[in-house]
């Protein structure tokens, strides 16, 4: 290859920049086109649409993506024609323009290395789209060239829009975590100075006392016959003490000023680093208006999505986790909540339903709500579904309050859909919403008014980078418990502990809570304690509640979270680490893990979730591990398998899955292929090369259905390979049944 051609070929970094540019501009195009669809006669947004298409066209030219350049150019021509008044967009036109916007995303490369790209469009599909866009523009009218910004020029780290106020840089999440961690360490280091300064103040007081003692001694010696050299030494000592006292006072004053400045600077640095870790809420919800619009059109409904609090700052890690739960809530609102225009008019409502998505800071938390003015939840129907799905008997269901009935919506596998369709009843329930909230230390609740609407309300921490924690001593060492995940903290006299069948209990809120020693759960040596009371931390998940007995409570503090090295995998009962104010490290407890470990320790057998609907004992159920980095996919597979009677556990990536199969016992592993840290092929290879695991059957599930991928999966030792689209087919469950039945 010649040097010229090498210079012309875009590298992977340039293509990623192009993808970022496309995603940014496509958000503007979607918003603008949806606004035009609502108000077809307005022209205020056409300039923004034209500039967005023009920016993509210029960027595509830089990275030599001719098809993307052609589509962007065709869109630009349409917007120019509308600006000049030769074209007035109709609903059919908007539909074609939105197809063009979707095509731009499909033509852009994957945004991250190793990411599976969207299915590449065929040339015939592109030609058909270009023909559709050409029909929008009146062929007999040649629009005058618009006033365009200067040609897009490529800078090392961005695709800028000329005249933009802020320079946007591409920074990896890892670097942001490192920056925030260093800023947190700087803040911790600055807090070391005050106690040091305080110790110097004590030295200053001691020196003043020494000076006074010398003065007293000198006064008492006055009039006595003293050798000349003794008097000389005494006077020299007094002068030396005075000089030292003055120097110490000056240096102490300077150190106090330095300490104040260092503390202020470290605090400002930390706040600036924390701000860089935040993103506006709108960055994570840009695709929702288009999703709601397309879904409503498929259902012949009229739905308007209002997004409030677009500029609310949200931790970027939380924002990424919010996409799947919020998408599910919005789809539920459109499919189950908002009525058809005829039904709304018959009920005395306007034909168009409204869904409101709002984010705001409230009481030191991030509050997110999804509300609609639809039909609300039918509590009577929910009671019937609870009985039908054998989650409770008819008598128990009737005794439940309305609020308790609504809580069943968050149970795994609970669905109000009477049949599985593409739009509803897909086996992914509202438990994904609660699971996400609990994972980050938040909560979710709902309210409904029959006939008037329904709302879901999430309370989440402002950031995952800082956690308010209780420090407790276990095995002579401090451990941090996130306060948001603790039920209660108690000091209980030994006389209040009850014993029943070799187990110890205390009564909390009129209910017995079983006790377990924290050092036994963590498998560390017990520390010494002579307290007259037991220090107990009450922990719970959705199913179990335990009293964790620690040696003593130490303090309550804010900690800067430091993720553990990914090479360690998932460490049982530990989520992260932090530094205390004195610079010493402390481990942060994973509360959900701790509850599971406590249950395992007390029961003497592997922990399993228990539900009233489960009739068979846990020991008789086959255990399946589902490994997938997509929360939605692994939740869907888990619910599908649980409905067949299997005991299912999940892992979030290949490394977590590898740790799980080494520590637990499973009858089958079902794993994705494309995952971070450890892909599915390597996970299968490790299992088959382990003398203790080599007979464990494995099913590979992937979006890739190519013959070469199937051959590779079988070659590394997998017993079966399925496309994700085939998971709900009978042959998949038949394969699962056959594999777990093998001795």
**pLDDT tens, position by position, 488-526:** 899 988 888 887 656 788 888 878 888 999 988 898 888
Confidence at residue 412, expressed as pLDDT on a 0 to 100 scale: 61
Q: Which residue has the higher pLDDT, 308 or 213?
A: 308
Q: Domain 280-461 class?
A: alpha beta
| Strand-pair category, 466-474 with 552-560 | antiparallel
Yes or no: say if 536 and 561 are a contact pair by the CB < 8 Å rule: no
| Residue-averaged pLDDT of the chain | 80
E-strand spans in 385-532? 443-449, 453-461, 466-474, 477-482, 488-493, 498-500, 503-508, 511-517
- For helices 316-332 and 173-190, the axis angle rounded to 10 degrees is 130
Confidence at residue 170, expressed as pLDDT on a 0 to 100 scale: 60
Query: Measured between alpha carbons, how far is 367 from 455 in angstroms, rounded to an integer?
Result: 13
For the cut 50, the answer to whether the pLDDT of residue 67 exceeds it is yes
Residue 334: CB partners within 8 Å, gap ≥ 6?
292, 295, 296, 299, 301, 303, 355
| Paired residues of 443 in beta bridges | 459
Yes or no: say if 319 and 279 are a contact pair by the CB < 8 Å rule: yes
Residue 304 — pLDDT band, cuts 50, 70, 90?
very high
**CATH match for 3-170 among 3.40.190.10, 1.20.120.160, 3.40.50.1100, 2.60.40.4070:** 1.20.120.160
Q: Domain 466-603 class?
A: mainly beta
Confidence at residue 422, expressed as pLDDT on a 0 to 100 scale: 43
- Most confidently modeled of 344-353, 415-424, 687-696? 344-353
For the cut 70, the answer to whether the pLDDT of residue 33 exceeds it is yes
Buried b (16+ CB within 10 A) or exposed e, 320-334: ebbbbbbbbbbbbbb
Instruction: Tell me what the mean pLDDT of segment 82-86 comes to.
Output: 83
Q: pLDDT of 178-202, one tens digit each?
A: 777 777 777 777 777 787 888 888 8
Inter-CA distances, 577 with 203, 370, 589, 700, Å = 35, 34, 9, 34
How many Cα atoms occupy the beta-carbon half-sphere of 622 within 13 Å? 19
Residue 368 — pLDDT band, cuts 50, 70, 90?
very high
For the cut 90, the answer to whether the pLDDT of residue 612 exceeds it is no
Confidence at residue 166, expressed as pLDDT on a 0 to 100 scale: 52
Q: pLDDT of 643-674, one tens digit each?
A: 788 888 888 788 888 888 887 788 999 998 88
- Most confidently modeled of 250-254, 385-389, 412-416, 616-620? 250-254
Confidence at residue 113, expressed as pLDDT on a 0 to 100 scale: 45
How many residues appear in the chain?
743
Instruction: Tell me what the mean pLDDT of segment 288-317 comes to.
Output: 91
Yes or no: say if 448 and 376 are a contact pair by the CB < 8 Å rule: yes
| Paired residues of 362 in beta bridges | 365
For the cut 90, the answer to whether the pLDDT of residue 142 exceeds it is no
Query: Measured between alpha carbons, how far is 584 from 593 in angstroms, rounded to an integer?
Result: 24
Query: Measured between alpha carbons, how far is 101 from 290 in angstroms, rounded to an integer?
Result: 11
- Token pair of 389 as six digits: 């799905």
618-741 falls under which CATH superfamily?
Answer: Response regulator (3.40.50.2300)
Q: pLDDT of 400-414, one tens digit each?
A: 888 778 877 877 656
Q: Which residue has the higher pLDDT, 100 or 396?
A: 100
Query: Measured between alpha carbons, how far is 562 from 417 in angstroms, rounded to an integer?
Result: 42
For the cut 60, the answer to whether the pLDDT of residue 614 exceeds it is no
What are the sequence ranges of the domains in the chain? 3-170, 176-276, 280-461, 466-603, 618-741
Q: Which residue has the higher pLDDT, 137 or 7?
A: 137
Contacts 24+ apart (CB under 8 A), 231-234: none
Query: Measured between alpha carbons, how far is 585 from 588 in angstroms, rounded to an integer?
Result: 10
Yes or no: say if 574 and 474 are a contact pair by the CB < 8 Å rule: no
| Paired residues of 699 in beta bridges | 670, 720
Residue 547 — pLDDT band, cuts 50, 70, 90?
very high
């Amino acid at each position: 290859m010649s040097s010229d051609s090498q210079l012309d070929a875009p590298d992977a970094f340039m293509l990623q920049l192009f993808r970022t540019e496309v995603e940014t501009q496509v958000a503007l195009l979607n918003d603008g086109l949806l606004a035009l669809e609502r108000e077809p006669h307005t022209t205020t947004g056409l300039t923004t649409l034209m500039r967005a298409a023009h920016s993509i066209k210029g960027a595509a030219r830089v990275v030599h993506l001719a098809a993307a350049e052609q589509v962007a150019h065709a869109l630009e021509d349409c917007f120019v024609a509308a600006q000049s008044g030769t074209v007035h967009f109709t609903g059919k036109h908007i539909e074609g323009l939105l197809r063009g916007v979707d095509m731009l995303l499909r033509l852009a490369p994957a945004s991250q290395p190793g990411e599976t790209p969207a299915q590449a469009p065929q040339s015939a599909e592109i030609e058909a789209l270009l023909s559709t866009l050409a029909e929008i523009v009146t062929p007999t009218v040649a629009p005058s060239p618009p006033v365009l910004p200067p040609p897009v020029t490529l800078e090392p780290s961005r695709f800028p829009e000329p005249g933009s106020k802020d320079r946007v840089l591409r920074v990896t999440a890892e670097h942001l975590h490192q920056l925030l961690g260093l800023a947190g360490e700087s803040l911790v280091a600055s807090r070391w100075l005050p106690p040091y300064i305080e110790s110097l103040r004590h030295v200053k007081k001691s020196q003043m006392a020494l000076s006074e003692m010398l003065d007293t001694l000198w006064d008492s010696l006055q009039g006595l016959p003293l050798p000349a050299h003794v008097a000389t030494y005494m006077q020299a000592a007094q002068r030396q003490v005075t000089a030292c006292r003055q120097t110490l006072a000056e240096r102490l004053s300077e150190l106090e000023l330095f300490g104040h400045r260092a503390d202020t600077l470290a605090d400002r640095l930390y706040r600036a680093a924390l701000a860089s870790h935040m993103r506006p809420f709108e960055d994570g919800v840009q695709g929702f208006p288009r999703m709601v619009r397309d879904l409503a059109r498929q259902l012949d409904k009229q739905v308007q999505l209002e997004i409030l609090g677009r500029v609310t700052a949200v931790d970027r890690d939380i924002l990424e986790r919010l996409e799947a739960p919020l998408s599910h809530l919005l789809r539920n609102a459109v499919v189950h909540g908002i009525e058809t225009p005829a039904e709304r008019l018959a009920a005395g409502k306007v034909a168009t339903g409204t869904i409101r998505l709002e984010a705001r800071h409230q009481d030191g938390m991030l509050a997110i709500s999804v509300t609609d003015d639809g039909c609300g939840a039918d509590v009577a129907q929910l009671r019937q579904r609870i009985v039908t799905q054998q989650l409770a008997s008819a008598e128990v269901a009737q005794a439940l309050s309305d609020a308790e009935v609504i809580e069943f919506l968050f149970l795994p596998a609970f669905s109000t859909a009477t049949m599985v369709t593409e739009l509803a009843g897909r086996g992914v329930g509202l438990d994904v919403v609660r699971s996400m909230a609990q994972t980050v230390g938040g909560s979710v609740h709902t309210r409904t008014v029959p006939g008037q609407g329904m709302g879901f309300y999430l309370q989440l921490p402002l950031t995952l980078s800082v956690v308010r924690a209780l420090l407790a001593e276990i095995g002579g060492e401090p451990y941090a418990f996130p306060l948001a995940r603790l039920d209660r903290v108690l000091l209980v006299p030994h006389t209040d502990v009850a014993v029943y069948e070799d187990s110890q209990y205390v009564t909390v809120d009129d209910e017995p809570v079983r006790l377990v020693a924290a050092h036994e759960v963590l498998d560390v040596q017990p520390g010494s304690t002579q307290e007259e009371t037991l220090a107990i931390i009450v922990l719970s998940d959705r199913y179990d509640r335990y009293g964790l007995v620690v040696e003593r409570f130490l303090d309550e503090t804010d900690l800067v979270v430091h993720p553990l090295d990914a090479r360690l995998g998932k460490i049982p009962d530990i989520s992260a680490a932090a530094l205390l104010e004195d610079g010493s490290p402390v481990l942060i407890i994973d509360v959900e893990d701790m509850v599971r470990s406590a249950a395992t320790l007390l029961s003497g057998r592997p922990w399993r979730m228990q539900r009233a609907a489960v009739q068979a004992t846990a020991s008789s159920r086959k255990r399946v591990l589902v490994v997938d980095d997509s929360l939605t996919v692994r939740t869907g597979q888990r619910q599908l398998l649980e409905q067949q009677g299997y005991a299912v556990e999940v892992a979030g990536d290949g490394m977590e899955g590898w740790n799980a199969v080494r520590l637990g016992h499973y009858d089958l592993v079902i794993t994705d292929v494309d995952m971070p840290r450890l892909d599915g092929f390597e996970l299968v290879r490790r299992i088959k090369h382990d003398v203790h695991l080599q007979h464990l059957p494995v099913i590979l599930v992937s979006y890739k259905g190519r013959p070469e991928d199937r051959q590779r999966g079988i070659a590394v030792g997998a017993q079966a390979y399925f496309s994700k689209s085939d998971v709900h087919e009978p042959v998949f469950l038949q394969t699962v049944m056959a594999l777990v039945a093998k001795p």
